[in-house]
Amino acid sequence: MKLFIILIYFLKEEIKLNLRRIKKLYNFFKTFSIFRLLLYLVNNSFVPSRDKNFRTYIIKNSQKWKNKANLKNSDNKKVLITNIFNHVVYTTTEIVIGKNLMEMFKADGIALLNEYNLKQILLFKSFGISKIIILSNFNIFVRLKYFIKAYLIIKSYKNMDEFLNFNINDVEIGKAVYDHFLRHSGIGTTNKFEPEFYIFLSKSLLIYDQINKYLKKYKIIASVQSELQFIPGSIIFQHALANGINVYSKVRTTTAKRNTNTFSVKKYSHFNDRRTPLDRFSKKIYDLINKNIKKEAIEIGEEIIKKRFEGLPEYQKNAEVYEPTQLTNRKKSIIIKKQDISRENLCKKFDWNISSPIGVIFSPDLTDGVFQNSWSLFRDNLTWLRETLIEIKKINNVNWLVKSHPNDEIKKVVTTTDSEYEKFCSNCNHVKMFPNNITMSSIPKFIDVAISFKSPASEYSCFGIPAITPSESNCTGLGYTIDPCSKEEYFFQLQNVKKLKKLNNQQIESAKIFIFTQIILTQIPSNLIIHHSTGLLFNEENFWDEMTKLLDQYNYEKDLLKKMMKFQEINNDVHTMDYRMIKKGDILNKLSQSLNDEQTRGF
């Protein structure tokens, strides 16, 4: 692409940037009172927010942490607490994790903000974190300099595959730019250097240089970061690991049964682990379970799956809870009446041979988690889907269903599973789109194999159904998934689905133990954060009101998350887990009768 055309695009982006600044300024004055801002400039202990509940929380929270004696930090150690996604719920969670680390390591905190946000700054300072770093966009001349630099870098690469390997001191800039483009364009794959690539690369280079400066300036011993993908998340995350800094990241289960204020914390200690899935648990956890509470873990995992497939909403994955107003941002709900269907009726519906096996292709989110695995047989999620559809089109001794991911609709992606199906398989009678009116409980009755990418559909493994996953997943190596080592092997497995056998008892038990580990053992409640929604139903005024009430009730000695994070550090665990469960298998057994948060907290 010619430099002149690219420069015109740069100028268009500059106009958009200034329009966004005007919009942000408007929202700023909607949030903050001018009179209160003037008072804040004179006395920064004054809270300029128009929201009375937020003001009350900040005042009380500031006093709470001011009264707690600060630990001496003679070594000038720092814990970096990043805030990439500007939502108060995410910010609060990251600060709570950071405060625990500050106490454990006797270190001060530094906040790193993606952009100026006074509300987030006030929140950090109320927790006693006064040092604030804000990533800068600098002026138009600096941005132009980095833009031209980005143009020259991209021009030096022959194709996209080469560009994906572009890195600076091992920090994978090329992948970050590609990932960011897929996310914001809604296109699941590309071989073309669109104009956005030049903007995204220039931003990445600018961010890399800033982070490099701060890592040299401060003695950072730990970093808290929940968003590990895209720009700037991927660059900050990798840069920290490359400099020997441990990164602590929130891991929250996607199951609605658990409160949204419960989560695990994953500790990344090695640069080579940067691509491993957040919820891929260490062998150590499974060894502890097998040694102490194997029977109970299997029973609880089985109970979770049973309730999930019975259709109880509180046991569903978030993406499978069919509440269309929340999931699709539509003003009107579209309620789909679900019905049970037998294998016989399904085959009759599609005019299929009932004796042929039925495989289900579970499409992933096509623009998310593209590089959140250490190995994959395909460049990205959409490439996997396309090549899989092309292959199964030729395998007509198997009946195939293709299930789209809910995020196709939620995120309004440009390239959808449905559109890919229409392109490659619409004329194939043995390949059909998965009907959206079938109950979950029906699926294990007719499915013979699950094909997925990144996520191994462990629920179906609990029924003895084999799963083929051509990439690293959260349960790779646990013995119940088929993990081909090459595309040839993957396609061979698809061609020989008829020869696959049901999983044995040991494999089924391993799948149930994984479900228990993911949903129960590693999810720790925080008594500083309320149960909340982060979507359309989020009410910020109510959030701060409830947070203030929780703050009034806070008991330092009963802070379970803090305790379990200390155990995690002492034992050098990858994930926080509730060690009380490991020790009390006899009590844990009672949970299989009723999975209840209050019972869980009683350990």
Strands, sheet with 131-134, edge to edge from the N-terminal-most edge strand:
131-134, 108-113, 77-83, 219-224, 246-251, 262-268, 524-525
Contact 373, 474 (CB under 8 A): no
**3-class secondary-structure state, position 429:** coil
Convert the pLDDT of each residue in 437-462 to its tens digit: 999 899 999 999 999 998 777 899 99
* Cα gap 370→353, rounded to integer Å: 36
Strand pairing class (358-362; 449-452)? parallel
Q: Please state the pTM of the whole predicted model.
A: 0.93
- Amino acid letter, 97: I
pLDDT at position 254: 60
Token pair, residue 404, equals: 């789209």
Q: How many helices (H) and strands (E) does the chain have?
A: 26, 13
DSSP secondary structure, 40-65, as one string: HHH-TTS--BS-HHHHHHHHHHHHHH
- pLDDT per residue over 397-441, tens digit each? 999 999 999 888 888 889 999 999 999 999 999 999 999 999 989
Q: Identify the pLDDT of residue 319.
A: 44
The ranges assigned to domains in the chain are 338-503
Residue with tokens 């009672």: 590
Structure tokens at 86: 């500007």
The yes/no answer on whether domain 338-503 falls in CATH 3.40.50.2000 is yes
Task: Name residue 302's beta-bridge partners.
Answer: none
Q: What is the pLDDT of residue 69?
A: 57
The segments of the chain whose pLDDT lies below 50 read 256, 319-333, 586-603
| The pLDDT value given to residue 66 | 86
Q: What is the pLDDT of residue 332?
A: 45
pLDDT digits (tens, 9 = 90+) for 466-488: 999 999 999 999 999 999 999 99
pLDDT of residue 255: 60
Q: Are 518 and 490 in contact (CB under 8 A)?
A: no
- In this prediction, residue 133 carries a pLDDT of 98
Encoded amino acid at 201, one letter: L
Kindly give the pairing relationship between strand 246-251 and strand 108-113.
unpaired
